């Protein structure tokens, strides 16, 4: 996806994958900074750890408490910080790493563009209270969701998220457990559905997909989980998590390049490589 986007923008850059142990994260970031990389993406388990190891945090990383994108910035002779590739090597006085988070915005963009769902005022049943579930809950709250119902195998984790929402977004109505009436959206943020033998992500005696208008699954492989297939059969609009993967990457590319990401090209590359 990134290499397709980079090629479309006509840049002589390469996006490469590196396997880094969590204990080596700090030296990996310093190493990339030393080698004047343009930037980095980070995935689990590095996103939380990186908050400690970048030189500066963008507001997006501060708000979500996680870094999935790093931009290396150079200070030129006049003292201005800018994307490192903009400063000729001989004029770089200092380099720093700046941490961003593009995951949270990617969720709401996917809900809007792939599912036609406007979070503001919507009623949502959110399944899962792990790392992805927490960011989804907080982002929906930040967007002014109408009513938010939280369900998780370990309900105490959902409770902690509800408390955090009540503190940070006092106007949002958040409840633990299943809704008594219909919802606009049921969102699976658990890892249930990655494997065919996985248990169902919610208690079917407590909630029926007939009572949801739309269903979103953060899982994108398989392209249609049992949850999404059942939601489609129940008449819901459905979308899988490929949009979240795409939009977080598109935004990262924009942070590095300061150009608009060629989203259609990136989506095609993603689909070709995921669904081979």
Task: Write out the residues near ligand ATR by the rule CB under 6 A.
Answer: 44, 128-133, 152-154, 157, 190-192, 199
Write down the number of H helices and E strands in the chain: 10, 11
In angstroms, give the least distance from the CB of 129 to ligand ATR: 5
Q: How far is the CB of 216 from ligand ATR (least distance, A)?
A: 14
CB atoms within 10 A of CB 51: 17
Which residue has the CB atom at the shortest distance from ligand ATR?
130
Q: Is 139 a catalytic residue?
A: no
Pairing of strands 39-41, 69-75: antiparallel
Nearer to ligand ATR, 136 or 270 (CB): 136
d(CA 40, CA 3): 13
Q: Min. distance of Cβ 60 from ligand ATR in angstroms?
A: 18
Separation CA 273–CA 137 (nearest Å): 30
Rounded Cα distance between 191 and 257, Å, is 32
Nearest C-alpha neighbor of 125 from the set 47, 164, 182: 182
Q: Which is nearer to ligand ATR, 99 or 128 (CB)?
A: 128
Q: Which of residues 74 and 132 has its CB atom nearest to ligand ATR in the complex?
A: 132
What is the rounded distance in angstroms from the CA atom of residue 82 to the CA atom of residue 71? 10
Structure tokens at 152: 């998780």
User: Of residues 36, 47, 139, 157, which has the active-site annotation?
Assistant: 47
* Minimum CB distance to ligand ATR, residue 235 (Å): 25
Q: Which residue, 5 or 193, is less far from ligand ATR as judged by CB? A: 193
- Cα dihedral value 200, 160, 48, 218, nearest 10: 30
- Residues designated as active site: 47
């Amino acid at each position: 996806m990134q290499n397709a986007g980079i090629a479309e923008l006509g840049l002589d850059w390469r996006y490469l994958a590196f396997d880094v142990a969590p204990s080596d994260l700090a030296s990996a970031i310093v190493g990339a900074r030393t080698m004047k990389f343009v930037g980095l993406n980070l995935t689990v388990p590095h996103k939380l750890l990186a908050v400690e190891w970048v030189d500066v945090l963008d507001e997006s990383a501060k708000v979500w408490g996680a870094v999935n994108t790093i931009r290396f910035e150079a200070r030129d002779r006049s003292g201005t910080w800018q994307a490192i590739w903009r400063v000729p090597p001989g004029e770089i006085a200092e380099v720093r790493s700046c941490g961003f988070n593009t995951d949270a915005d990617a969720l709401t963009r996917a809900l809007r563009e792939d599912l036609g769902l406007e979070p503001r005022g919507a009623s949502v049943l959110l399944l899962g209270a792990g790392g992805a579930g927490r960011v989804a809950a907080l982002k929906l709250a930040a967007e002014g969701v109408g009513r938010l119902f939280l369900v998780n195998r370990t309900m105490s984790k959902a409770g902690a998220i509800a408390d955090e929402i009540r503190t940070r977004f006092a106007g949002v109505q958040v409840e633990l457990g299943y809704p008594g009436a219909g919802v606009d959206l049921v969102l699976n943020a658990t890892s249930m559905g990655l494997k065919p033998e996985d248990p169902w992500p919610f208690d079917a005696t407590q909630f029926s997909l007939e009572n949801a208008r739309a269903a979103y699954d953060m899982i994108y492989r398989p392209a249609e989980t049992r949850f999404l297939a059942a939601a489609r059969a129940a008449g819901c609009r459905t979308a899988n998590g490929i949009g979240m993967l795409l939009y977080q990457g598109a935004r990262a590319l924009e942070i590095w390049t300061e150009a608009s990401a060629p989203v259609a090209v990136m989506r095609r590359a993603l689909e070709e490589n995921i669904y081979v």
